[in-house]
């Protein structure tokens, strides 16, 4: 069975991706520094014989082993988190990525980079195709993440072009589901926590900005195919659900599902918050035979149920 290193395994997507690989019988080594990830997410797999974990900051060291695959999910991903960890975010996406690329080169592993739709910035092309170069403010507050990820993509392609390293880049669009920390700061956990605790839902701007939300099981399947399918070295692929919703629509759905009164507060729109976002997934369909299967209402119900259990159990607080 293949052996994989999952960097950022204690985070939201990492928790699901680790479980997916272990269920296939793969040997999984996780590495995380818990900057945004959770120890309890690592404990889920602690008893599994094919799972090993290292608490390390990948900008400083990486666990060496003979991997077949290296998946890099390590990076703060929520605006709230990367704005509070600006330099760490830039370093994990530069030095951290370089350290993993060097390891991949040394052991001959396939390398998958989790990039982001944020490389398109506040896009002037809609929906976003992989050949769009983006509209990023290089000195705005979000640049620590956006430019960090753009650097991560550039260095990944440099190792591919100049060293022949087998690399693949996933541009992940907004993904949601259980195990996104309730205090993460992104829209779904914020709205869930607020609705469950009788607080007003914080809508930034007038709520007319859009996002397209992908349920995490669909994302994990897409990432796995991009990682393992033959003939994809050097490919950059959008992964996400093209079902586009306004922020206000999401708020209304959350209160409807929880059956609580509509209680919204409108706050200023954060600087450079993208106005519209929807992936064009033609390339993912063609190369991976992949498209999301879980409808938004269904995924949202499952996710909100999970947040209800977490908040009821008082397991996590904001
Ligand atoms: P997350 O914050 O839940 O997980 C990131 C993990 O990386 C955390 O466990 C964190 O502790 C770890 N990490 C950060 N810096 C590290 C370092 N220096 N050394 C070791 N570990 C480190 O975020 P997520 O939503 O699971 O996102 C995973 C990846 O996918 C990120 O790279 C993110 O940029 C990308 N992505 C996610 C989304 C989404 O909607 N979830 C969208 C676009 C891109
Ligand atoms: N948002 C909001 N209220 C919140 C959290 C987010 O209105 O409490 C909005 C945010 O301004 C953005 C969208 O929801 O337009 C998605 O934000 P998120 O932080 O989840 O991710 P982003 O796509 O901006 O990285």
Q: What are 297-306's pLDDT values in tens digits?
A: 999 999 999 9
Q: Is 182 in the pocket of ligand 2 (CB under 6 A)?
A: no
Q: Is the pLDDT of residue 9 over 80?
A: yes
Residues 101 and 155 sit within 8 Å (Cβ to Cβ)? yes
Could you tell me the pLDDT band of residue 314, with boundaries at 50, 70 and 90?
A: confident
The predicted model gives 283-287 an average pLDDT of 98
Q: Is 182 in the pocket of ligand 1 (CB under 6 A)?
A: no
Question: What are the residues whose beta carbons fall under 8 Å from the beta carbon of 76, sequence distance 6 or more?
Answer: 35, 36, 82, 85, 88, 89, 92, 145
Could you tell me the distance, in angstroms and rounded to a whole number, from the CA of residue 7 to the centre of ligand 1?
A: 9
Could you tell me the distance, in angstroms and rounded to a whole number, from the CA of residue 262 to the centre of ligand 1?
A: 32
> Whose atoms come closest to the Cα of 240: which ligand?
1
The whole-angstrom separation of Cα 43 and Cα 55 is 13
Q: Is the pLDDT of residue 115 over 80?
A: yes
> Whose atoms come closest to the Cα of 207: which ligand?
2
Q: Mean pLDDT in the chain?
A: 97
pLDDT at 316: 64
pLDDT at 6: 99
CA-closest candidate to residue 109, choices 21, 8, 14, 5:
5
pLDDT at 126: 96
In a domain, 171, yes or no: yes
Could you tell me the distance, in angstroms and rounded to a whole number, from the CA of residue 223 to the centre of ligand 1?
A: 14
Instruction: Give the structural domain span for 281.
Output: 3-175+214-242+274-293
Q: Is 185 in the pocket of ligand 1 (CB under 6 A)?
A: no
The whole-angstrom separation of Cα 49 and Cα 168 is 28
Catalytic site residues? Answer: 145
Closest residue by Cα to atom 5, ligand 2, is: 187
Could you tell me the pLDDT band of residue 52, with boundaries at 50, 70 and 90?
A: very high
% of residues, the chain, pLDDT over 70: 99
In a domain, 303, yes or no: no
Could you tell me the distance, in angstroms and rounded to a whole number, from the CA of residue 75 to the centre of ligand 1?
A: 4
Q: Is the pLDDT of residue 315 over 80?
A: no
Q: Is 121 in the pocket of ligand 2 (CB under 6 A)?
A: no
In a domain, 155, yes or no: yes
Q: What is the pTM of this model?
A: 0.98
Q: Is the pLDDT of residue 127 over 80?
A: yes
The dihedral formed by the CA atoms of 102, 104, 106 and 109, expressed in degrees to the nearest 10 = -170
Give the 3-state secondary structure of residue 34: coil
Crossing angle between the packed helical segments 216-228 and 12-23, to the nearest 10 degrees: 60
Q: Is 247 in the pocket of ligand 2 (CB under 6 A)?
A: yes
Looking at the structure of the chain, the number of domains it has is: 1
Q: Is the pLDDT of residue 317 over 90?
A: no
Residues 195 and 258 sit within 8 Å (Cβ to Cβ)? yes
Could you tell me the distance, in angstroms and rounded to a whole number, from the CA of residue 44 to the centre of ligand 1?
A: 18
Q: Is 79 in the pocket of ligand 2 (CB under 6 A)?
A: yes
Could you tell me the pLDDT band of residue 318, with boundaries at 50, 70 and 90?
A: low
In a domain, 298, yes or no: no
In a domain, 183, yes or no: no
In a domain, 224, yes or no: yes
In a domain, 280, yes or no: yes
Token pair of 86 as six digits: 């600006």
In a domain, 265, yes or no: no
CATH number at residue 8: 3.40.50.720
């Amino acid at each position: 069975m293949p052996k994989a290193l999952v960097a950022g395994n204690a985070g939201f997507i990492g928790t699901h991706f680790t479980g997916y690989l272990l269920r296939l019988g793969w040997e999984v080594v996780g590495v995380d520094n818990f900057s945004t990830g959770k120890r309890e997410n690592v404990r889920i797999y602690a008893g599994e014989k094919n799972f090993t974990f290292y608490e390390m900051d990948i900008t400083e060291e990486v666990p060496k082993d003979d991997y077949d695959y290296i998946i890099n999910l390590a990076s703060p991903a929520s605006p709230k988190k990367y704005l509070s960890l600006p330099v760490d975010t830039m370093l994990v996406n530069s030095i951290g990525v370089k350290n993993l690329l060097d390891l991949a080169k040394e052991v001959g592993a396939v390398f998958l980079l989790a990039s982001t739709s944020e490389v398109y910035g506040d896009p002037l092309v809609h929906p976003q195709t992989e050949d769009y170069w983006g509209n990023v403010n290089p000195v705005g507050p979000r640049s620590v993440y956006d430019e960090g990820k753009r650097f991560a993509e550039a260095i990944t392609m440099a190792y591919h072009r100049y060293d022949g390293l087998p690399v693949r880049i996933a541009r992940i669009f907004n993904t949601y589901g259980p195990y996104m920390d309730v205090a993460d700061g992104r829209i779904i956990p914020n709205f869930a926590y607020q609705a469950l605790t009788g607080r007003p839902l914080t809508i930034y701007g007038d709520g007319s900005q859009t996002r397209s939300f992908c349920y995490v099981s669909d994302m994990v399947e897409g990432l796995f195919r991009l990682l393992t399918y033959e003939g994809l070295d050097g490919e950059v692929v959008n992964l996400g659900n093209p079902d586009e919703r306004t922020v206000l629509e999401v708020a209304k759905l959350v209160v409807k599902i929880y059956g609580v009164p509509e209680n919204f507060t409108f706050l200023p729109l954060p600087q450079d918050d993208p106005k519209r976002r929807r992936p064009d997934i033609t390339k993912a369909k063609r190369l991976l035979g992949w498209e999301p299967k879980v409808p938004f209402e269904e995924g949202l119900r499952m996710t909100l149920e999970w947040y209800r259990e977490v908040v009821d159990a008082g397991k996590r607080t904001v």
